[in-house]
Amino acid sequence: MRGPHNILRLIRTGATFERTGAMRVALDAVEAPPRLRVAARVLGWPFRWLGYKGDPDLPPVTRAITALGPAYIKFGQILSTRADVVGTELADQLRMLQDRLPPFPTETAKRIVETELGQSIETLFSEFSEPVAAASIAQVHRARVAETGQEVAVKVLRPGIAAAFRRDIDAFHFAAGFIEFLSPGSRRLRPRDVVSHFESVVAGEQDMRLEAAAASEFAENTKEDERFAVPAPHWHLSGRRVLTSDWAEGLPMGDREALIAAGHDVTRIATRVIQLFLQHALRDGFFHADMHHGNLKVAANGDVLAYDFGIMGEIDEYTRRVYAEILMGFIRRDYRRVARVHFEAGYVPRDQDEAAFARALRAVGEPIFGADASRISMANLLGYLFEVTERFGMRTRTELILLQRTMVVVEGVARSVDPQLNIWDAAKPVVSDYIKSNLGPKSLASDMSKVVQTVGRFGPLLPRIVEQALWERAHPEDATPKSEGRRAGYLPYWLVTVLSLAAGAAIGLALG
């Protein structure tokens, strides 16, 4: 229930950060201004006794986040990829949130597997290890299928995870509404819609059957991609709370020293990570939306291995074209083009000044180009971008949240592998290929083909629609309430005529 009781949950969040010492560390990491530090201290200190103690063996911020629960852990996973925002030391501390959280007992996992699959562990698997990785939603066991001897990964949902997430998200909803009430200007950022979007994503992540379906679709889409592999799901060994898939053997993406020691080209790997994400987002419109270090490995032959498909992103073809044009505009430093695309797509209100918006984008983009990647302050860049969105009244696009979030995470992963990576140089070939394939004559022909297919499906109805429209136009005096209602169900006369002519011309061209 989204009621005032959630105030205690939010106060406890601040109190936990204060009690564990995480408040000071977090404020130092983001270089918070003095006024914010004073406000946080004044608001947090009186309620310190309400905060969770957490595990004293963990660093302060990690200790606070793990004590607060899975929804906070998800946010910490994102920050763990952004050493350029929170600093290398804090990012390294947060990285344990990706796959090294405290596991639940193996016996509990076995009982869940047996209940879900309806057979004993011994019948299903000849080997079943202790947890090899544990994250916020589930933990993974290494096992061997009894029937075939194949080595697999068995992912088991944490018991009670649904209730824990409901409690956290309930508090987030309350906080979002409270923020909108106190600060009407924040409504353009649509905090309640953002929380609802996060809620829907997390809900899907708690059904392993959906993750298996996502893995299967993703594997089909990417089967021709070079230097990339996806572990296949085993449907007969999976259920709502259990997912069994091929075992992925490789070095962790987050261990740069181990990759170098194994002889891998870290620059090539980092570039490949960026390009794979863009290929999947632009080409397929279906991408891995949780590509942090804990979900990526590097195989002995240098292939990038991706797993954990609980969170997937999907964008339609129009949005892909808009996104590609924006990226290409930045790559070419054509800020007028970037601004124009934003206006055409409706991302910026029409009453704003396009030229002024282009200059604001230039102030964002120019410091990046020609600069050493290690000297770019992503914290300052993100802060200025937020100022730009506020100044021009841009509203949060919930359909782009996963895309934008994943881009931030993927960039962080790539830079952790190769700190000197030029993100724009890595992105350019993929975006250029997409632009050539989807914004030229081939794209126009493809679009026309889709129009023909759509019109063709409605072909049998066209004669009746045209006849009805023409008759009612010629006999308006005979219109009755019933016929008026019937007329409302048909297309406008002029549109029917245009569609009919277009259909005839398109079919004629196709046959010719």
**Among the listed residues 10, 324, 325, 338, the one whose alpha carbon sits nearest the alpha carbon of residue 171:** 10
* Token pair in block for residue 78: 């994102």
Per the CB < 8 A criterion, the answer to whether 393 and 186 are in contact is: no
For residue 143, the surrounding DSSP H or E stretch is strand 138-145
Report pLDDT for 376.
58
3-state secondary structure string across 83-129: HHHHCHHHHHHHCHHHHECCCCCHHHHHHHHHHHHCCCHHHHEEEEE
Tokens of 287: 């991408």
Strand partners, 252: 297
pTM of the complete model:
0.72
Q: Which amino acid is at 95?
A: R
In sequence order, which residues have a C-beta less than 8 Å from that of residue 487 and are 6 or more positions away?
Answer: 468, 469, 472, 479
How far apart are alpha carbons 246 and 153 in whole angstroms? 6
Where would I find the H helices in 401-492?
Answer: 401-417, 423-438, 441-457, 462-474, 481-488
Q: Helix, strand, or coil here: 154? A: strand
What whole-number distance in Å separates Cα of residue 91 and Cα of residue 443? 42
290 catalytic residue (yes or no): yes
Q: Which two tokens stand for residue 491?
A: 């297309």
User: Of 32, 255, 241, whose CA–CA distance to 139 is shortest?
Assistant: 241
Strand partners for 131:
141
CB neighbour list of residue 485: distance below 8 Å, 6 or more residues apart: none
Give the CA radius of gyration of the chain: 27
495 vs 501: CA distance, rounded Å: 10
Backbone φ, ψ for residue 291 (5° rounding): -85, 55
459: exposed, middle or buried (Cβ count in 10 Å: 0-12, 13-18, 19+): exposed
Q: DSSP secondary-structure letter at 284?
A: I
Other Cβ atoms closer than 10 A to 444: 10
Report whether 19 contacts 53 (CB < 8 A): yes
Whether the CB-CB separation of 384 and 363 falls below 8 Å is answered with yes
pLDDT at 488: 44
Candidates 99, 168, 290, 418; catalytic one: 290
What's the maximum distance between 2 C-alpha atoms anywhere in the chain? 86
Q: Among residues 145, 148, 138, which one has the least CA distance to residue 117?
A: 145
Among residues 315, 357, 318, 320, the alpha carbon closest in space to that of 335 is found at 357
Burial track 177-186 (b if 16+ CB lie within 10 A, e otherwise)? eeebeeeeee
SS (H, E, C) 158-208: CCCHHHHHHHHHHHHHHHHHHHHHHCHHHHHHCHHHHHHHHHHHHHHHCCH
Q: What is the pLDDT tens value at each position of the chain, 512 positions in all?
A: 555 666 777 778 888 888 888 888 877 776 666 766 776 676 667 777 788 888 888 888 888 888 887 778 877 776 676 665 566 677 777 777 766 678 899 999 999 999 999 999 999 999 999 999 888 789 999 999 999 999 999 999 999 888 878 777 887 777 777 667 766 665 655 677 777 777 777 777 789 999 999 999 999 999 999 999 999 999 999 999 999 999 999 999 989 999 999 999 999 999 999 999 999 999 999 999 888 888 899 999 999 999 989 888 888 888 888 888 888 888 788 989 888 988 888 888 888 999 999 998 888 778 766 665 556 555 555 556 666 776 787 776 666 667 877 887 888 888 889 988 877 788 889 888 888 887 666 656 665 666 666 666 666 766 776 677 666 766 666 655 545 444 444 445 444 445 555 555 554 544 44
